[in-house]
Copies of this chain bind each other. A is one copy, B any other.
Amino acid sequence: MDQPFPETLHESIDFPDGLALDCGRRLRSLTIAYRVYGLLNAARSNAILVCHALTGDQYVAETNPETGKPGWWDRVVGPGQPVDTDKFAVICANVLGGCMGTTGPRSPHDDRPDEPWGTDFPPVTINDMVRAQKRLIDHLGISRLFAVVGGSMGGMQTLAWAAMYPDHVFAAVPVAACAYHSAQNIAFHEIGRQAIAADPAFHNGRYWAKGVTPERGLAVARMTAHITYVSEAALTRKFGRKLQDAATLSELGDRFEVESYLQYQGSSFVRRFDANSYLTMTRAMDLFDLAAPHETGLAGAFAGSKTRFLLVSFSSDWLFPTAQSRAIAWALNAVAANVSFVEVKSDKGHDAFLLDEPDFHRTLAGFIAGCAEHAGL
């Protein structure tokens, strides 16, 4: 990024009345960038909201205009896919605090519109993200979402949707999700934040004013996160201990394939992602705790819910492990909610929700078909 504001124009809607945030502050202007795949029916009853993860965006099922890569969930969303765009209108919005067109640290400052928010951007929560999405859904004239679906941070949003707007969500599918961010999760995020803050190009978050980006810090943050997204088995299968250049033991440079892969992951990421957004969004995840406001704990978040839930976890996910999804299932059972819970056997780690996992895709397709029948779709 050589300039304060991004170049790509994303399809978006402005909400000039802004948005009140959990922190007590108010965004005076709010823009939500989003994409829709498939057609809304006359009753507007066939909408599925997809919520994206930390490094995702609204380009679920089409070429991403910034990276040129395929949509991040085109295995799951599309014509004939488990989330079938021939039958459903699939909506995905860039999250509040993001950097792909929705209001975030890279958007014009409310008070100084010639410069971006940067680190002045208020801290947002997962609930704030959901409130922003609700504005979009209202704007589109959708009174009830047929389903909300998301993995990882998207799964947090899915749970928050079901907790905050139970009458507006017929079905909810939190995938590889959790009801709160654990101490270990927070610790890994903190590594990334420290690495970004330690980069001299960060300039206390005003890097945009200098025409630079804290690339090295952001790359270290991405590398750290990436390790937590994959299983030990997946890393080993991909790289094992293969030496890049087995001949040389004579210098301290990069030696193992896994290292150059991680460096590549880091460097490709920094070309497309805003560091202040990364700080804002990791903080939102760390603050997430569905049970906290409720005297009865997690069950209290879902009391009286009529939403149908499908919880999916992956056996080798050590970041948001199965035990987290099971705890959500127990809480839903405690309030007699309608819940299915599937642990998919996979050795791909947390990232499995993005990858080729036929069991997950079959389970999701079956659940959606069943719910569609109940919903009269």
* Residues of chain B with a CB closer than 8 A to A249's CB: 22-24, 123, 125, 287
| Nearest CB in chain B to that of A280: its residue | B252
Dominant secondary structure at the A interface? helix
User: Does residue A184 face the partner (Cβ distance < 8 Å to B)?
Assistant: yes
User: Does residue A73 face the partner (Cβ distance < 8 Å to B)?
Assistant: no
Which bucket holds chain A's interface residue count?
35 or more
| Nearest CB in chain B to that of A218: its residue | B198
User: Does residue A341 face the partner (Cβ distance < 8 Å to B)?
Assistant: no
Across the interface, do B255 and A286 meet the contact criterion of CB distance under 8 Å?
yes
Among candidates B220, B259, B289, residue contacting A198 with C-beta atoms closer than 8 Å? B220
Best-surrounded residue of A25, A190, A216 (most CB of chain B within 10 A): A190
Across the interface, do A198 and B217 meet the contact criterion of CB distance under 8 Å?
yes
Kindly state the separation between the CA atoms of A72 and B287 in the bound complex, as whole angstroms.
Answer: 36
User: Does residue A95 face the partner (Cβ distance < 8 Å to B)?
Assistant: no
Best-surrounded residue of A119, A183, A223, A279 (most CB of chain B within 10 A): A183
Across the interface, do B194 and A219 meet the contact criterion of CB distance under 8 Å?
yes
| Nearest CB in chain B to that of A200: its residue | B200
Kindly state the separation between the CA atoms of A330 and B176 in the bound complex, as whole angstroms.
Answer: 35
Across the interface, do B181 and A241 meet the contact criterion of CB distance under 8 Å?
yes
Kindly state the separation between the CA atoms of A24 and B249 in the bound complex, as whole angstroms.
Answer: 8
User: Does residue A15 face the partner (Cβ distance < 8 Å to B)?
Assistant: no
Kindly state the separation between the CA atoms of A251 and B119 in the bound complex, as whole angstroms.
Answer: 9
User: Does residue A195 face the partner (Cβ distance < 8 Å to B)?
Assistant: yes
Across the interface, do B235 and A194 meet the contact criterion of CB distance under 8 Å?
no
* Residues of chain B with a CB closer than 8 A to A184's CB: 227, 232, 235-236
User: Does residue A262 face the partner (Cβ distance < 8 Å to B)?
Assistant: yes
| Nearest CB in chain B to that of A224: its residue | B191
Across the interface, do A24 and B182 meet the contact criterion of CB distance under 8 Å?
no
Cβ contacts A236-247/B at 8 Å (1 or 0 each): 101111000000
Q: A194-B216, A263-B194 are in contact. Are A251 and B187 (CB under 8 A)?
A: no
In residues 47-93 of chain A, which contact B (Cβ within 8 Å)?
A: none
* Residues of chain B with a CB closer than 8 A to A223's CB: 187, 190-191, 194
User: Does residue A8 face the partner (Cβ distance < 8 Å to B)?
Assistant: no
User: Does residue A283 face the partner (Cβ distance < 8 Å to B)?
Assistant: yes
User: Does residue A269 face the partner (Cβ distance < 8 Å to B)?
Assistant: no
Kindly state the separation between the CA atoms of A351 and B200 in the bound complex, as whole angstroms.
Answer: 33
User: Does residue A110 face the partner (Cβ distance < 8 Å to B)?
Assistant: no
Q: A220-B198, A235-B183 are in contact. Are A283 and B252 (CB under 8 A)?
A: yes
In residues 180-236 of chain A, which contact B (Cβ within 8 Å)?
A: 180-184, 186-188, 190-191, 194-195, 197-200, 216-217, 219-220, 223-224, 227, 232, 235-236
Q: List 11 A-B contacts (CB under 8 A).
A: A119-B252, A123-B252, A180-B241, A183-B235, A184-B235, A188-B227, A190-B259, A191-B227, A194-B219, A195-B220, A198-B216
Q: What would 16 more interface pairs be, CB under 8 Å, given A183-B258, A256-B286?
A: A25-B250, A123-B250, A123-B251, A181-B241, A182-B235, A183-B238, A183-B256, A187-B258, A190-B259, A191-B227, A194-B216, A195-B195, A197-B216, A198-B216, A241-B289, A255-B286
